[in-house]
Amino acid sequence: MKIVVCIKQVVTREWPLRVNEAGTWIRDSDASFELNEPDAYALEEALRLKEKHGGEVVVCCAGPARAAQVIREALARGADRAIHVELEGDPAAFDASAIATLLAGAIRDEQFELVLTGLQSDDLGFGQVGVLLAAALGMPHATIIMEVQAGDGGLRVKRELEGGWFQWIAMPLPALLTIQSGINQLRYATLKGIMAAKKKEIRKAALPDGLQPAQQIVSLAVPTRSKQTQMIDGSPAEAARELVRRLREEARAL
């Protein structure tokens, strides 16, 4: 089975967020970075499918030159090779539609049987790239996947729904799945894997000409903390009724 896993480099969750000087994104010049957690679970699922059914696992990343860090990490965990769509300038300038277009252009010609992405990114969390990528590739897709069974030229996948419900779906190949965190137990790169990753291929994919994002971040601000004390007059019974009214109608807490 020929599988590609789309991965993203994100700022580590422990790093204190600070808005940049332009007010359009976080200040990431001095930040530390890591592999997006849902993408790590997607990579692990791809490696497990390869171990069961054979084939090849390729990782594809659209990001700046520093994204080579997470590409090498994915190769060290067991991916066979990688594709890097190297972005210039601020990565935040590329919205989900543009990223999906870049990824589709990089992987379309290789005729992958299965495309895996994380459900969403830890930094933005929109959950759009996977479904937009499926549309760009013309593939059937399923989201929020908690289990994957491959066989007989197709897939049987388990989706997580609201309220603790699950749904089983049969799908043909090729297909795209967005993987939920917790689907499996993550493996870590071994010393042997780290050494082997240095010799694995990383192909640079060219950026298409004239690609323009469909949206842009106008401004970004840290939420301000504020409090306001209001005194309620009247008898205890009147004050209680007024408090309940305000909680229900103004604060929407009831």
User: pLDDT by residue (tens digit) across 75-108?
Assistant: 999 999 999 999 886 677 788 999 999 999 999 9
Euclidean distance between CA atoms 137 and 134, whole angstroms: 5
| The two structure tokens encoding residue 156 | 């049987």
pLDDT of residue 94: 84
pTM of the predicted structure, to 2 decimals: 0.84
pLDDT of residue 120: 94
Show Cβ contacts of residue 145 under 8 Å, excluding neighbours closer than 6 positions: 157, 158, 159, 160, 177, 178, 179, 180, 183
DSSP state of 59: E
| The two structure tokens encoding residue 47 | 């490696």
Q: What is the pLDDT of residues 43-69, one digit of tens each?
A: 999 999 999 999 999 999 999 999 999
Q: What is the residue-wise DSSP string for 113-157?
A: SEEEEESS-SSS----HHHHHHHHHT--EEEEEEEEEEETTEEEE
Full pLDDT tens readout for the chain, 254 residues: 999 999 999 999 888 888 888 888 888 778 889 999 999 999 999 999 999 999 999 999 999 999 999 999 999 999 999 999 998 866 777 889 999 999 999 999 999 999 999 999 998 888 999 999 999 999 999 999 999 999 888 999 999 998 889 999 999 999 999 999 999 999 989 999 999 999 999 999 988 877 777 777 888 887 777 777 888 888 999 999 999 998 888 888 87
pLDDT of residue 65: 92
| The two structure tokens encoding residue 174 | 């090729």
Using the Cα atoms of residue 17, residue 18, residue 23 and residue 27 in order, give the sign of their dihedral: negative
Using the Cα atoms of residue 223, residue 88, residue 101 and residue 39 in order, give the sign of their dihedral: negative
Q: Cα-flanking dihedrals φ and ψ of residue 248, to 5°?
A: -80, -45
Angle between helices 96-107 and 129-137 (to 10 degrees): 40
Nearest alpha carbon to residue 111 among 61, 54, 174, 154: 174
Domain ranges of the chain: 2-205, 224-254
pLDDT of residue 253: 80
Domain covering 2-205 in this structure, CATH number: 3.40.50.620
pLDDT of residue 250: 85
